[in-house]
Structure 1
């Protein structure tokens, strides 16, 4: 009697979206995230500190200060009352600058039950502790599933419905693997999915978050060299070697190198290093063109995440024993008054290494003296 071979039936996952969502942070990206949830069908509450921004969203259906050209979905409502924003929420996205994450999470904690998943949309590393954004949330919360949302996503383009993709990352528990449809990652992913916003799912929080933090620093470097008059070859080299710096840090912290080649790493890096719409790239362009830091952005106090991350990323890299020369160069220029031209000339003239790190090769650059002299002159 022949044994019949049974072919497993492939099952397509069909998770249920969250129907009530809170978004904390009414800046440009927070408003775009809230608009995406609302477009996808969720009853969405957007919390912001500024009563004028909240009033404008509710009264006009627009955010004149942050997204002036975007008509927001009718179902989106804003509030400056944290308790009201979180009342009845099944899931929460935190979309504030990285330096405000701890305070906002601590404020929200009093209104959350342990079953509500929290997705961090801030990108960075806490300067005082070296913690990633999700690790900060885990310290401040009790038992909530904590993940992140990251990718190449300019706020205005997302809100205007340009085709956009991002990664939703949460740890997968044993129960999540047995029943993925009930996992926070899948449910958050479908809750954000619209005709123009496409999501992918990951379980590698470290890899996703490292990409988001490091790309801001590399973008400043790209801006500096572009502002100094260099072109596509230079930027391509910085982007590629920047990805390598992401990989070594992610791996050292327990993440996966392959994650860095995805949307939250290579994708976000490419976007941020290619457009002055990015504050990080814009800061670099101005500095590379000779504008003093205090005069950048016409003297306005603009928050540039990569400026703070240049210090926190390299502090963490030093602590875990990995080399990140581009990030170190940006740190030296921004925080230690190093000369921009001399710093990048020295970077280009540094010892030659193997691109596959496994070869473990290093030898002197034969034209290092000439490179340092001529490149420094080009910057001058």
Structure 2
């Protein structure tokens, strides 16, 4: 009889969400090795069981270790979990691809669209690595990393063309505090996560300008409508956008002060420039990086996305704050759909 071996996950990299999911998987009984760029971070995770860059006061499970060597991290990994900025995925993955095992399931936590190619993260993964789509999963949902690190309840959707593969990863990250659901709608799951970042920017901008809850509700609701239009045009199920990776993630990102895209928008709404807001936020804000790519994706498919249009124009200094508010409120009246 073969001896039981816990599942093994390699998490790239050691940022806030990567650290939070590493903790979830370790709590679920999965052995986790994290890949960190800096040696001092890897050493602190392995020896002090702390990530001093993001969660210095929270002890990590001892089942989590870290390394700066991608070959060590990937050796024998059942899962490769990618939690890096979407715009740097292609270059990084090209360097790591030769060390990915033939049976490793690649799981994307990224919520962005690649600029220039208009590709979703899972498409970049298959293009760079050459693996089949049934070996690439995405995880998305209302997952604010600080709350998860505090042990608060959360849930997410794991989408993969191969539902059995999604179930394998579901087992590897199911805990009493984290409830993952499975899906085969990879397109809907990814687009819900990518576009909500742009909508969260708009809600933050409105809040920074002193607008109230009515404005926030307007942007969330109409933002969901335009996200759903784009996703359905690309082959997604509208039901996915009403779930955790759609509405759930949108609500959390648009309403929580912990959400970095909303926070970035607040800075813009208070009059900071994009450069100043970037410095004040300090963590990667995917909505800023992906807004134009989301809009290009919509234009290619003839999908109207007025909120994304306004956010993109504001980020590129084509309109002022007052012009942005006017552009949204002075649109011609129409039926709601």
**What is the TM-score of this pair, normalised by structure 2?**
0.95
2-structure distance, mates of 1:140, 1:36: 28
Which position in structure 1 is the counterpart of 2:96?
108
CA contact (8 A) 1:17 1:190 kept: no
Q: Deviations over 1:13-52 (max 9, x none)?
A: xxx9961111111111111111111111111111111112
1:219 equivalent among 197, 200, 208: 200
> In the comparison of the two structures, how many residue pairs are matched?
332
1:28 equivalent among 1, 11, 16: 16
2-structure distance, mates of 1:249, 1:71: 41
1-structure distance, mates of 2:5, 2:324: 50
CA contact (8 A) 2:264 2:281 kept: no
2:209 equivalent among 208, 228, 239: 228
SS at match of 2:65: strand
2-structure distance, mates of 1:90, 1:342: 50
2:191 equivalent among 198, 210, 235: 210
Q: Deviations over 1:36-87 (max 9, x none)?
A: 1111111111111111211111121111111123210011000010000011
CA contact (8 A) 2:13 2:83 kept: yes
Which position in structure 2 is the counterpart of 1:351?
332
Runs of 4+ in 1 over 6 A off after TM superposition: none
Q: Is 2:64 the partner of 1:76?
A: yes
Q: Is 2:148 the partner of 1:167?
A: no
Which position in structure 2 is the counterpart of 1:367?
none
Q: What does 1:127-276 correspond to in 2, within 5 Å?
A: 127-144=115-132, 145-172=135-162, 183-276=164-257
2-structure distance, mates of 1:250, 1:95: 22
Structure 2: runs of 5 or more not aligned: none
Structure 1: runs of 5 or more not aligned: 1-15, 177-182, 357-380
Root mean square deviation of aligned Cα: 1.6
CA contact (8 A) 1:208 1:265 kept: yes
**What is the TM-score of this pair, normalised by structure 1?**
0.84
1-structure distance, mates of 2:215, 2:21: 33
SS at match of 1:352: coil
Bigger-Rg structure (1/2)? 1
